Amino acid sequence: MSAKPVVLVTRKLPAAVEDRLRRDYEPRLNPDDQLYSSGEIIELAEGADAILPCHTEKFTAEVIARLPDSVKAIANFSVGYDHVDTAAAKARGLIVTNTPEVLNDATAEIAMLLLIGAARRAGEGEMLVRTRTWKDWSPSFMVGIQVTGKRLGILGMGRVGKVVARRARGFDMEIHYHDVRRLDPDQEAGAVYHQTVEDLLPVCQFLSVHCPSTPETKGLLNAERIALLPHGAVVVNAARGVVIDDEALIAALKSGAVAAAGLDVFNDEPDIHPEYRELANTFLLPHIGSATRETRDAMGFRALDNLDAIFSGHEPRDRVA
């Protein structure tokens, strides 16, 4: 009987996923959930056939060049794969996969939480209750922005964006969107397509960001584009932090040009721009878009499905390099 493939697992995974790893592979687990350095990953990967990382580990061209020759695949526990230099992986012959589709509902839920939480000043309200500084009620107390019936712009109408649109229709929101290509009419379900970002932004009383991290989307929401939003718009990001120019958004939040922001992702997380924490009109979450039991299990199983295909000589379903 041939030996099971050795898989380096860089973070602690759900119990059900680790059980399947033990059954089908020889895993090198991380029970203490340490954040390994690149040097530690290279060392721990000695003799491993594959690596199962998260977005917290960076596989630059330099790291990929130093990986042991035994490593044949990087099966990401994430839908995003901007933490992997896919060009360097391809050049070396490494197979790279991700875990799309299984995060859609959970991430859309967080987007709606951010949207409502930012508009209705949920972070401020909770702090008043927790700090015992809630004094009384009055007609002018904690007045926020109503969500129902407003115009929602979705920047990136992919898998998650389409689910957000469906959820937002439950609040009678009017859906507008921009993507690199227009959806078929049956998929639009009445949503209004805008050919450019600049065309979309002026109609967005609410803007929800759902585009991937690419060279083209880095800093996409900059000062010039934020200025195109209606005064007092609400901005939500449950995609990738790099899409937003932090300095520009913070300036708009301070001036009131943007009334509030709901953010689950950030540049340089967890070392986020410190001014976000100081602003009362931000509703902030620690990158928990996929953090449900069901979704995290599904992500792990999807990553393992890709490894199963690779080690049985088949093309993995979610190959990105």
CA R_g for the chain: 21
Place of tokens 């580990």: 57
Query: Helix, strand or coil for residue 283?
Result: strand
Q: What angle do CA 257, 258, 263 make, to 5 degrees?
A: 160
Query: Helix, strand or coil for residue 267?
Result: coil
Residue 197: count of CB within 10 angstroms of its CB: 16
Given the residues 20, 176, 210, 240, the one annotated as active site:
240
Q: What is the C-alpha to C-alpha distance for residues 208 and 114, in angstroms, rounded to an integer?
A: 9
269 is catalytic: yes
Given the residues 18, 26, 269, 275, the one annotated as active site:
269
Q: Do residues 91 and 70 lie in contact, with contact meaning Cβ atoms separated by under 8 Å?
A: no
Tokens standing for residue 111: 């987007």
Q: Do residues 14 and 52 lie in contact, with contact meaning Cβ atoms separated by under 8 Å?
A: no
Given the residues 20, 287, 296, 302, the one annotated as active site:
287
Q: Which of 262, 281, 284, 241 is nearest to 152 (CA)?
A: 262
18 is catalytic: no
124 is catalytic: no
Query: For residue 201, how far is the Cα from the chain centroid?
Result: 21
Contacts of 128 (CB under 8 A, 6+ apart): 134, 142
Which residues belong to the active site? 240, 269, 287
